[in-house]
Structures are given as structure tokens and as C-alpha cells.
Amino acid sequence: MCGIVGIVAKTYVNQTIFDALTVLQHRGQDAAGMVTCEGNRFFLRKDNGLVNEVFRTRHMKRLEGNMGIGHVRYPTAGSSSSAEAQPFYVNSPYGIALAHNGNLTNTEQLADEIFRSDLRHINTTSDSEVLLNIFAHELQALGKLRPSAEDIFKAVKRVHERCQGGYAVVAIITGYGIVAFRDPCGIRPLVYGKRETEAGIEYMVASESVALDTSGFILERDLEPGEAIFIDTHGQVFTQSCAEKTKLAPCLFEYVYLARPDSIIDGISVHEARMEMGVKLAEKVKRVMPDHDIDVIIPIPDTSRTAALEMANSLGVKFREGFIKNRYIGRTFIMPGQTQRKKSVRQKLNPIQAEFKDKVVMLVDDSIVRGTTSKQIVQMAREAGARKVYFASAAPEVRYPNVYGIDMPAASELVAHGRTAEEIGKYIGCDWMLYQDLDDLKASVSKYNPGITEFDTCVFDGLYVTGTVSPSYLRRLEERRNDGAKTAGDSDHAGDNESADLLSRIE
């Protein structure tokens, strides 16, 4: 879960990239970076921290040029190193900088190929650097002094042939333009748009449409699975499908939790999809407990608010804000270490006692991952005087790890792994546990784009849409993602550390 942006404009792009990264900050709060291009020179700034912490006035003044790319990285397991901040850069061929959202599932194989066949050195454990070197090698192999759009698309085609997983990529080629592409399953989102200025038309590619909106760009469309777009320095736009086998199977968790509600992804309004999730939850309540005794529905801020409100409206039950959120605490399910997570929940939320006292309360959250937050929230509701505490999740049980760019816990640390809904309810301490059905979740999203018939639902059903995820890969993932490994600092970057063991052997 990272955010990317790329712009080709008629004037300096540093401020526009800064603004875009700021509205994509929900996709990553760990590190930020930007590369701009002026003539044949790159200007780079990246570091750990929020966007407004990484880019000070002195840095912005040095980020010259009319095209550039940016990246925000989310907090990942273990200690964080600024060496893993993106974009990454290679000087051959031409000079290429790249940023990426997602994860490659064959990083170990690729890192070996890069070292032994491509004769390239990988300096970090990031799969983003691996992806950059694959792209750079394939572009260099064409042997062109001045690459055309067709040459760039040929290189992207080879990237698709070699790389497995989910990824959305934006790259800048010194003096030529910006290229962006999406994996053949369209798992991770990527859109592009344009705006008209007195100097001419400018273009932006980004993870979410909200980045376009806030800077005055008009959304053109989503990139199709396997499609690449190249925008040269003169503002000419070229697009081409670069993968032989494609299917649109976007990540369902984007609509549940990751994306901003004011974004449109693959033609679907995230806000409207979340409203429908609330309606579906209400319908399930009517089926399972038609004579319910719910007095009030209270959302766990912020993502679940939309679903909770529609659930309350559909049931004819009062909707109330019962928790005050401290907005300066990060998302807890991706924080390293159980102790830190437990501490952060009490810092993040505080109940309003008047909304709980002597009431049967239905708490609504977007999803339940570890159960750490949910368990403490239920306890807070009881301490605030609730007579009964029910708990509803707008998403089904999260039982399996994500391998396409969301650094979720190891499977054994997911509260739903190996438990029934009733057992989960008992674990978190609620009187009734209600989960969304997977078919209802799919229907909530596809209602607004019936053309999408398949989603990446791996965290719910363990089905990996790329068809390339092996049991041995999942076992290695389990070893790296458990809290013991994180405490030891074994995982130190965005995405999965498949290349870490290989690098230690090579070096």
C-alpha cells in the first residue's frame, strides 16, 4: 500500500507533486520521495517521514523541472531505513528513476537473474529496486541511442513477462518523458488525467483519482491491466497494451479500507461502494436477527463511517459518533510489534460515555485484521457503560496474507485464521459478531461497474489471482511476517523481502 504520482507539465512540477502526495498520504506515512527532471539532469529528495516533513522549502527550491514522479511509502514491519525510500534511480541507460506500489512475488528469482545474467547490482532489499533494474535492463537490451514510445513499450512487455505479482509503476526517463504501467491483473490501481493551462495541456498519472481532483486535473480513465502509458517531454501521449494475457481483478480491499472515499477506482466510486456495504450489512442483520435490539450504531473512525451510516438508515436505528479519534496516530495493523499496537489503540480512540451508557451498541468497523484494536474497543465500550456490545465488519473474515503489496501480518496472527465468527466474537469480547458475506461485498463494489466480474479476494478466501503463489512462498512469508521476525528487524522495506536472503549469499 503505497502511493505514486507522475506529471509532465509546462512549468515546474515540484509543488503539484507535493500536493498530490499530500492527498495520497493515507497510502503511506513512513517515507516520501520525489524526482524531477530539468533537461538532462535529475533532482532527487527522499527520506523517512510525512510529506510535509520530508520536503522543506530548501528541498523544494532544488527540485527543478517540468516533469517528475513522487512516492509515499507506508509503515512496514521492523525498523525503517531511509535507504528503502523511493524513487530509486539507475544511470544506465539514459538515467531512469522509478516508484512502485505493490509487490513482486518472484523477487528472489529476479534478483538472481539480475546479478548473474543482467550483471546489475541491487543495493537494497526492496523489490522496487529489482523492478527498476529489470526495466532498465530490458530498455538497454534494445540498443537504441534515442528510445521511441514503441521501444519503451517493448521493455514494459518484457517486464510483464519476467515479473509476477501486483504492481503499479511510474518511471521517469531523463530527457524523454514519463512511463507508467499496471500489472496484467490490474490488482493495484492507476489512473491518468489532464488539465488545460495557458501554456498547454499537462498530464498526471496517480494511484487514485483524488490526486488529480485536488490539482485541477480531469480524470481521463484508469489504465487497463497490462497497459502502459508514455508521455513525452512535449506532452504527446502514447498508450499500448503490453501483456499477452490480461484480466481485470482489482484488489477488493482497496474499496474496503485502503482508498480514500472520494476516489474513483476502475469506474467505481469508493464512497458509493462503502454505502452499499452498509446496506448489505443491514440486510444480513434482518436475515440473521430480525428481532434485533440494537439501540445505536457507532462507527470505528474513520473508514467505516460511511457503511455504518447506511446500515443505521437501512435498519431505522440511530447513528451516533461515539469515539473521538486522535488523528496523529498511524494505522495499527501494520505497526511492528504487538506491544506498540496495544499502546497505540488507547492513544488513538477515546469513547464518549453518553453514547454508550445503558445502550445496546452495534460497533461497525471496515475490517478486522489482528483483532487487537477490536478487542480493546469492545472493552472501552463496556467501560463506557454499554449494556451489550455487538460488532459488525463491513468486510468478511481476513484469514490469509496479502502478497500483492499490503504488508499484513502472518496468517497465524490474523484473528480470523482458524476461527469461526462466533469464536472471533468471543475472543474480542463482544456479545454478537457479524461479518459481511464475501458475495455481498463483491456485489457492493461491482454494482457500480458490472463489467468487473473478478476481484483479488486473497485475504478473504486464499485465492491468488495471478496463479503464481506457491505454498513454499507462503511459508517463507509466514516466517518473515510474524511478530518475532519483526522484532528482530528481519523485514525492513515495503513489499516482501524475498531478495534479502539472496543478497546475503551473493555479497
- The annotated binding site is made up of 303, 365-366
Taking the CA of residue 114 as centre, how many other CA atoms within 13 Å lie in the half-sphere pointing to its CB?
27
Grid look-up 475490517 returns: 367
Binding residues for Mg(2+): 303, 365-366
Give the closest residue to 231 by CA, choosing from 66, 70, 71.
66
Question: What does the alpha-carbon distance between residue 72 and residue 1 come to, in Å, rounded to a whole number?
Answer: 9
Question: What does the alpha-carbon distance between residue 196 and residue 219 come to, in Å, rounded to a whole number?
Answer: 12
Total count of residues recorded for the chain = 507
Strand partners, 434: 392
∠ Cα 64 67 71 (to 5°): 90
Give the closest residue to 494 by CA, choosing from 10, 91, 32, 42.
32
Q: What is the DSSP string of 23-50?
A: HTGGG-SSEEEEEEEETTEEEEEEEES-
Record the cell numbers describing residue 101, joined without a space: 506500489
Record the cell numbers describing residue 438, joined without a space: 464475501
Taking the CA of residue 300 as centre, how many other CA atoms within 13 Å lie in the half-sphere pointing to its CB?
27
Verify whether residue 242 is a known catalytic residue: no
User: Which 8-state DSSP code applies to residue 198?
Assistant: T
Q: Is the distance from CB of 250 to CB of 455 less than 8 angstroms? A: yes
Amino acid making up residue 479: E
3 state SS of 38: strand
Strand order in the sheet with 388-393: 318-319, 296-299, 360-365, 388-393, 432-435
CA 275 to each of CA 353, 406, 484: distance values in angstroms, whole numbers, following the listed order: 27, 24, 38
**Sequence-separated (6 or more) residues with CB below 8 Å from residue 362:** 294, 296, 297, 298, 311, 317, 390, 391, 392
Burial class (CB in 10 A: 0-12, 13-18, 19+), 507: exposed
Active-site position among 2, 242, 251, 430: 2
Record the cell numbers describing residue 417, joined without a space: 485464521
Strand partners, 323: 351
3 state SS of 426: helix
Query: Which residue numbers are catalytic?
Result: 2
